[in-house]
Amino acid sequence: MVSAQGVTTLVEPLGSLLPQSVHGVTQSDAVAGDNPAQADAGRAAALKEDGLQRFARGTYGSTKLEALQFNDATGALSAFTLYRKGGSAGPKLDDTADQTATVDGRTVVLKQTVVLLAEPGAENAVLAGVTGALPKVSGPRSQAPLLPTFFPAKGLVVGSLRYALGPASYTAMGGTLDAATLGWEKSAEAAIADYSDKRGKETVTLLLYPTPQIAGDHLRAIESQASGAKTRREGELVIVATGTFSADDAQNMVENIHLRNELSFDKPMPLEFHTELRKTFSLLQSIAILSGVGMLAAVVVGLFLGGGRAMVRKMQGKDAATDAEFLSLHLANQNPPPKFDPPAS
């Protein structure tokens, strides 16, 4: 409960980050906290940038796990790509995990706002059970960032995509640009991916800024420090390609990356909208019913009149259907004008 200036707000306490038991195995050696340095001293600065909310450690038999929960899915993805660096695809646990990776025998799992770290030798059954029991979130906090989805799939090195929210995580992920000049204080986001094929190797960096003006200012700063790099700006998005691709291939790559905007609406529509929608639907439904009834009535009346007339003609010994009868006024010239003989000459 939080009270300030006479206003009292009830705050629901967070549940346990790790379950007490999984498949009959009880957790032991439990440790919990919210200090990034206690969670991972070597990556404390990056975890702070990503918005670490809390962490928990525990052991289930021979399986040692650590869970890191972040403020939203954006921070969790950044931390996941940091821990996944240099790894390969991990085991398929269940449908609740967003991504998994294996790095030097260690399994890294991403599920919404939580990153789960399993030490080498972890049992997949226990890992899957813990993953399924991790806290779930909804609404904006559960929305993954769009920036990493802008990369083309062709030639992308599997597992090379990284996502950063600050200079510490960007540097730790092997960023090729000067991290101090990328405008993190203006809510910049960065994504990095490697490409490799017969053309060579190329590293593509995407930077997303709040406005096109901010993006333009930082693009000029990047061009002054990254000589030889191919760059382009599209709205709030800045694209930078560096590597061994030819100038034309690198330029084609940056030209084929485009900014996409997606709108999601997770709140109920206003009551007025629902009322007007129902009224409109009811009106259209009534019009359709009335039109249908009118058409049916026309068919029935047509059949009744036509059939009745045919029946009467049959009763009179006439054909049911006859040629059309025409009315005539008989205005033929019955009284021709008198003829006048010309006078004799």
Q: Which H or E run contains 297?
A: helix 271-315
* Among the listed residues 165, 168, 169, 163, the one whose alpha carbon sits nearest the alpha carbon of residue 192: 163
Label residue 61 exposed, middle or buried (CB < 10 Å: 0-12, 13-18, 19+).
middle
The mean-pLDDT minimum among 1-15, 130-144, 194-208 falls in 1-15
* Among the listed residues 59, 58, 61, 52, the one whose alpha carbon sits nearest the alpha carbon of residue 83: 52
**pLDDT exceeds 90 at position 35:** yes
Look at strands 21-22 and 25-26 and give their pairing: antiparallel
**pLDDT exceeds 60 at position 141:** yes
The pLDDT score that the predictor gives to residue 11 is 46
Angle at 265 between CA 261 and CA 266, to 5 degrees: 135
CA distance 51 to 147: 18
214 band by pLDDT with thresholds 50, 70 and 90: very high
**pLDDT exceeds 50 at position 17:** yes
Q: CB neighbours of 64 closer than 8 A, spacing ≥ 6?
A: 57, 58, 118, 119, 122
* Structural domains of the chain in order of their starting residue, each with its CATH number: 2-142 (3.40.1000), 147-255 (3.40.1000)
Q: Which H or E run contains 303?
A: helix 271-315
What share of the chain in percent tops pLDDT 90? 51
Mean pLDDT, residues 208-234 taken together: 91
CB 118 within 8 A of CB 57: no
The pLDDT score that the predictor gives to residue 278 is 80
* Among the listed residues 252, 210, 259, 253, the one whose alpha carbon sits nearest the alpha carbon of residue 233: 259
Write the pLDDT tens digit of every residue in 164-191. 999 999 999 989 899 988 999 999 999 9
**pLDDT exceeds 80 at position 136:** yes
DSSP for 171-226, please give it: HHTT-SS-GGGS-GGGT-EEEEEEEEETTEEEEEEEEE-SSHHHHHHHHHHHHHHS
Mean pLDDT, residues 18-31 taken together: 90
CA distance 273 to 278: 9
DSSP for residue 269: P
The pLDDT score that the predictor gives to residue 158 is 87
